[in-house]
Amino acid sequence: MTAQEHHAPQSFWTKYIWSQDHKVIAIQYSLTAIFVGLVALVLSTLMRLQLGFPGSFDFIDASAYYQYVTMHGMIMVVYLLTAIFLGGFGNYLIPLMVGARDMVFPFVNMLSYWFYLLAVVVLLASFFVTGGPTGAGWTLYPPQAILPGTPGSDWGIILMLVSLGIFIIAATMGGLNYVTTVLQARTRGMTMMRMPLTIWGIFMATILALLAFPALFVSAIMMLFDKLLGTSFFMPAILSMGEQMGHEGGSPILFQHLFWFFGHPEVYIVALPAFGIVSDLISTHARKNIFGYRMMVWAIVVIGVLSFVVWAHHMYVSGMNPYFGYFFATTTLIIAVPTAIKVYNWVLTLWQGNIRMSVPMLFALGFVSTFTIGGLTGLFLGNVVVDLPLSDTYFVVAHFHMVMGVSPVLVIFGAIYHWYPKMSGKMLHEGMGKFHFWATFLGTYAIFFPMHYLGVLGVPRRYYAYENYDFIPDSAKDLNAFITIAAIFVALAQLVFLFNLAWSYFKGKESGPNPWEATTLEWQTETTPPGHGNWGETVPVCHRWAYDYSVPGYEQDYLPQNYPEEAKV
Amino acid sequence: MSIFQTLTEKPWLEGKNEIQQKSPDRVKKSAVKVLLSVISVLFFLFFVAFLMRSQYQDWRPLAEEPGQPLFYKGQLWLNTLYLILSSLCFHWASRAVNHNNAKSVQVGILIGGLFAAAFIGGQLVFWQQLQAQGFFVNHSPALSFFYLFTGLHIAHLLGGMIAWAMALFSLKKAGNGSLVGLCATYWHYLLVLWALLFALLVSKPETYDAIAAFCGLGQ
Amino acid sequence: MAFAVVLVILVLGSVLFHFLSPWNITPIASNWGSIDVTMLITLVITAVVFIAVNFFIAYAVIKFRHTPERKAQYEPENKKLEWWLTLGTSVGIIAMLAPGLIVYADFVNVPEDAHQVEVVGQQWSWSFRFPGEDGELGKSAIEHISTDNGFGVDPLDGAGQDDRLLTSNTLVLPVNRPVKLLLRSKDVLHNFYVPNFRVKMDSVPGQVSYQWFTPTRTGDFEVLCAEYCGIGHFNMRAFIKVVEQQEYDDWLAGLPTFAQSLKKEASEKLSVKAEKGMQVAQQKGCMACHGFESSPAGPSWLGLYGSTRVMKDGSEVVADDDYLKEAILEPNASVVKGYAPIMPKLELSELEMESVIAFIKERGNETDPEHQQGTDAGKASGAELAQSKGCTACHSIDGSRLVGPSWQGIYGSERTLASGETVTVNDAYLKESMFKPNAKMVEGYPPVMPPSQLSTAQANALIEYIKSL
């Protein structure tokens, strides 16, 4: 065991603010991520107001609209989803599930949170500078990102790039901890293959993050140089507002290659933890081992590796060498195979199970259903020639919201309902939970399923308004209005969830140490919530894999991982 | 235990309960390995960007003719010498840790740190010399990469200096030499990295054109 | 239970939605029906999986719901089943990828007989160039772009002289002929996309990209910019009109050529040709001896063109194009009286020669009223110009707020500027705003208007149009 011999923190400040305890850091990360996610949710509501009811709100002009689009996208992908899965769930669950007392480098872990917070502050500061935040689209493509035709091209883009740089440093510090803890700090008996899939998912995602974020760092630095120092990494000879700029020879496509070399693994950084968590949710609440555990682990590893060779499917119409299209279409469709296998294994886990439709299970199944659609529409876009008409239309927007915005968020909710009792000793209110589930699941379906059809029609994305386009029928405007109303409804429904989180903390039913009767080690702590050092006097020893549910020959329908008898097959 | 062996285990069957205890040193070593992988990816991507950019029409090499910024590389060679000496000192110091020779360790890392500072100083001197001749960062794409590469390398060395300070501190205070070996590893890595960057920046166009063509980036 | 029912309803509802929805792919108007077929294959395969997975969940959730007596099965893995599922999935994937790559190969390989059209995107309008009789487009570069040379065609490239230029935003194409669009951009990424033709491709500054298609029926189609290009992205309009070959030929013949556009037309002091001539004259060293002041080295060019000069041998000569050409190529064949035969022989191409002569003519005879003539000045009405020059991308005519102030009712009104002062919107203000947009910005609008590329006559036509709104 590494240096866990530091004393338990004594003062309010060292316990809750400058804490080096992974559980506190996890909550800090999660609360910050949820807060900034709510900001992005408001931004998306404003965008939808403009799309559904164009021109109704004077302050949403074209500049503002594009700024909302950009900030909504970047916050959600990086500052919410990545931060909450790795910094939130990763921090909380890794030491508990592998049987460690804390992360291997608690001080660096603490630093990683404060860097993350700094990155968030810098990003939000861009709302208050001259020109406002950048409106370059979350993909920040040059040349437009640093030219005057785009909102926020003065300070906005600079703060965005600096904030991303700080975030990447935070993510690297955190990532170092998560990977090293999984590799080096597992308790006795906890072999890699006895780890629950939640850990495999987060572990693989962390490796991806460590290897992919540098590409974003590279692009951000080179773009800052082009903007501030007049270099020409990405800037070719161009005319801007009638003036010849001093740049020449740079390549906008170089930026796209670098960005998507990061960008594609990024979506798996979000998806893999979700995959891992959902496996454990389904397994626990169906009282059945996850079907095909080994395949599930291999699928996670293979998906992780393959995610580095598919990036240019975001660039089919970028003007890159057209022959690249053959290669990337092939790798992209290959990556669909391990992903599909995971979907089969989740539903096969239900087969011959003993299924409890608890709130976490509802969210888990909601994930499987929505991820299936999202993944399937990805096949349209991955197939290069089918992408030609669909690229840059609402088909893409619908696809990525389904796979990034709906499914992983359903998992986040499910995971919170599942682990809240561990974290607080209380159950979240079930009635509110069910309402939250139905409103969110049905609401997001209503928003994003019909949206695909707008894309097929050819309605382009990143448009402020659609006045006088003959090929867009009036009924599409009605559909946009409907989608906006659904979006407002879903946004409001989240208030119930927030209320539930706060209310249940004080008034919720006592949960006891293991309300779901789950096998994994985090439910075996001495106290609930776990205290400093997690395990009291002795760290548990692991005797079995994470899925001994309904083992034949035992009265109880689950055997915790530290249950001492030798496993019977 | 290879990756393949691990992944083909059947964990629901009886298995071992023993895992060797991981010493704190081993943990830190593992972390340094991960860190070096991340840094490698970072510089690798810059290297790829360099290759791609070098194939465009406006690219001019840096060290072929007298008028070019890196033609006179004396200062850079001197800096390289400082870095080599710095690495040697760290190597010597980490050997001394194993022989429990506290005095030598201290001297070793102190001097190693000083040579590293000399390297950084020397690089900054070279930058000044370039700017005095009008070779600013936006002078040409190749020179932009030069500043970028050397700047990032210095930044990582500075980060290493923080670890160096911590190693010195924990040595003085607690006689703990565990960080010294890690510093040595990191220093050797940065030396090798510098050698590669230096070679790349002053290489003939034929060389990187060939590499670019090999990677399918040729134009 | 409720969950299973809802899931089944969602699936059935989605399928129903698919068949009943009025939002379908636009009617195809090009040869790329094969893309539609590939999309359909993908749809069928994915629909099967979608329905199967969801129904399976619904069924399992009912059949295996928790009861106190039930015990779940313990089955860590089933190699055979997993193997079959992997195989089946792979087959499905191949069934989608194979046709996809075959059709893609068609897209990558442009037919030999495709005719070429260059499409130039800029913030926030489109313009087009045709290769002319020589079948070749002239070289272009950003450095050549000026108010009078919007396409940046190199005036010294012979191939560019007969290129036909279209600055209005309606592109006409002949039906049933494959066309390769060469895409260029002057500033940022754009993307030329017509939903009915299916294909699209970004235009990237610094390089030329392409897409090709064959229009298969006549009609009018809308063009969209499909790559975010800044604040005017959503209204960067163009139109394609597909017509019969004859109509296309006639229309094309009516477009001005690049050579014609080089004649002085606009707000610059020298035409593009003469501007180039000035550069050539400087590079070749002509200005060392000739200038527009009198000099003992060589005859001044001031007032030279068209004037009568006395030669050394006493004869009189009119300094016209032929004379000037001879003087440049055979300098000492006939020397002007009073000057020494010291002019070196120069190598100039035909086009360089013409450009120098244009320079001599324009700069030397600055008061020549011929200079005031344009080529198609004033031919297009203000309303047409507003569309084709991209003004309406940002300025509406119906009062609604787009990117810039609406033109409705603007003439004669008082506006507050960003600087705080108020201004009355009159002719002078409008002209200034067209050519120096950021000089007097209206309060509350972003400073993103590029300077207009208009002749004086065109600017006047636009102002008349604005007055009428």
- pLDDT tens, position by position, B195-214: 999 999 998 888 888 888 88
- Evaluate whether residue B13 is within a structural domain: no
Nearest to C258 by CA among C157, C174, C182, C356: C157
| Highest CATH level, class, for C382-467 | mainly alpha
- pLDDT tens, position by position, C242-284: 999 999 999 999 888 888 877 655 545 677 888 888 888 887 8
A559–chain C Cβ distance below 8 A for any pair: no
Closest residue in chain B to residue A248, using alpha carbons only: B58
Backbone angles phi, psi at C130, to 5 degrees: -115, 150
Residues of B in contact with A289 (CB under 8 A): 12
CA distance C185 to C193: 14
Burial of B191 (0-12, 13-18, 19+ CB in 10 A): buried
Give me the residue from A62, A333, A392 closest to C96, CB to CB. Answer: A333
Q: Percent of chain C having pLDDT more than 90? A: 45
> What angle, 0 to 180 degrees and rounded to 10, lies between the N-to-C axes of helices B24-54 and B178-202?
10
What pLDDT, on a 0 to 100 scale, did the predictor assign at position C374?
42
Is 1.20.210.10 the CATH classification of the domain at A19-234+249-462+479-524?
Answer: yes
- List the end-to-end C-alpha distance of chain B, in Å, as a whole number: 45
Task: Determine whether the interchain pair A294/B137 forms a contact, defined as Cβ–Cβ distance below 8 Å.
Answer: no
Give me the residue from A186, A229, A567 closest to B12, CB to CB. Answer: A567
CA distance B141 to B159: 27
Instruction: Write down the mean pLDDT value for chain B.
Output: 88
Task: Determine whether the interchain pair B10/A294 forms a contact, defined as Cβ–Cβ distance below 8 Å.
Answer: yes
What's the distance, CA A357 to chain centroid?
25
Give chain B's domain count: 1
A548–chain B Cβ distance below 8 A for any pair: yes
SS3 call for C310: strand
CATH fold group of domain C272-372? Cytochrome Bc1 Complex; Chain D, domain 2 (1.10.760)
A145 vs chain B: nearest CA distance in angstroms? 19
**Structural domain of B183:** 73-219
C145–chain A Cβ distance below 8 A for any pair: yes
Quote the tokens at residue C213: 């298609």
**Cβ atoms < 10 Å from Cβ of C316:** 8
A566–chain B Cβ distance below 8 A for any pair: yes
- pLDDT tens, position by position, C202-241: 999 999 999 999 999 999 999 999 999 999 999 898 999 9
Give me the residue from B38, B56, B138 closest to A251, CB to CB. Answer: B56
CA distance A139 to A255: 10
Q: 């900054």: which residue's tokens?
A: B124
ipTM metric:
0.93
C303–chain A Cβ distance below 8 A for any pair: no
Chains with ≥3 Cβ pairs under 8 A against B? A
Any idea what the CATH number is for the domain that residue B186 is in?
Answer: 1.20.120.80
- pLDDT tens, position by position, B37-83: 999 999 999 999 999 888 888 888 888 888 888 888 899 999 999 99
Question: Which pLDDT tens digits describe chain A residue by residue (569 residues)?
Answer: 344 445 677 788 888 889 999 999 999 999 999 999 999 999 999 999 999 999 888 889 999 999 999 999 999 999 999 999 999 999 999 999 999 999 999 999 999 999 999 999 999 999 999 999 999 999 999 999 999 889 999 899 999 999 999 999 999 999 999 999 999 999 999 999 999 999 999 999 999 999 999 999 999 999 999 999 999 999 999 988 777 888 888 999 999 999 999 999 999 999 999 999 999 999 999 999 999 999 999 999 999 999 999 999 999 999 999 999 999 999 999 999 999 999 999 999 999 999 999 999 999 999 999 999 999 999 999 999 999 999 999 999 999 999 999 999 999 999 999 999 999 999 999 999 999 999 999 999 999 999 999 999 999 999 999 988 999 999 999 999 999 999 999 999 999 999 999 999 999 999 999 999 999 999 999 899 999 889 988 999 999 999 999 999 888 889 999 988 764 44
Question: Which pLDDT band holds residue C361 (cuts at 50, 70, 90)?
Answer: confident
CA distance B110 to B89: 9
- pLDDT tens, position by position, C405-442: 999 988 988 989 988 888 898 888 888 888 888 778 88
| Extents of the domains making up chain A | 19-234+249-462+479-524
Average pLDDT over residues B77-103: 90
Task: Determine whether the interchain pair A354/C35 forms a contact, defined as Cβ–Cβ distance below 8 Å.
Answer: no
Rg (CA), chain B: 22
Same fold? C115-261, C272-372:
no
Domain spanning C115-261: CATH superfamily: Cupredoxins -  blue copper proteins (2.60.40.420)
- pLDDT tens, position by position, C309-325: 888 888 888 888 888 88
pLDDT greater at residue C326 or residue A181: A181
pTM of the model: 0.89
The backbone region for A319, taken as left when phi is positive above 0, alpha when psi lies in -120 to 50, beta otherwise, is left
CA distance B66 to B133: 13
DSSP state letter for C234: G
CA distance C48 to A384: 21
- pLDDT tens, position by position, A272-305: 999 999 999 999 999 999 999 999 999 999 999 9
CA distance C418 to B168: 59
Among the residues of A20-154, which ranges form H helices? 22-52, 62-74, 91-98, 106-125
A557 vs chain B: nearest CA distance in angstroms? 16
Task: Determine whether the interchain pair A180/B17 forms a contact, defined as Cβ–Cβ distance below 8 Å.
Answer: no
- Evaluate whether residue B39 is within a structural domain: no
CA distance C93 to C83: 15
Instruction: Write down the mean pLDDT value for chain C.
Output: 87
CA distance C200 to C208: 14
| Extents of the domains making up chain C | 2-108, 115-261, 272-372, 382-467
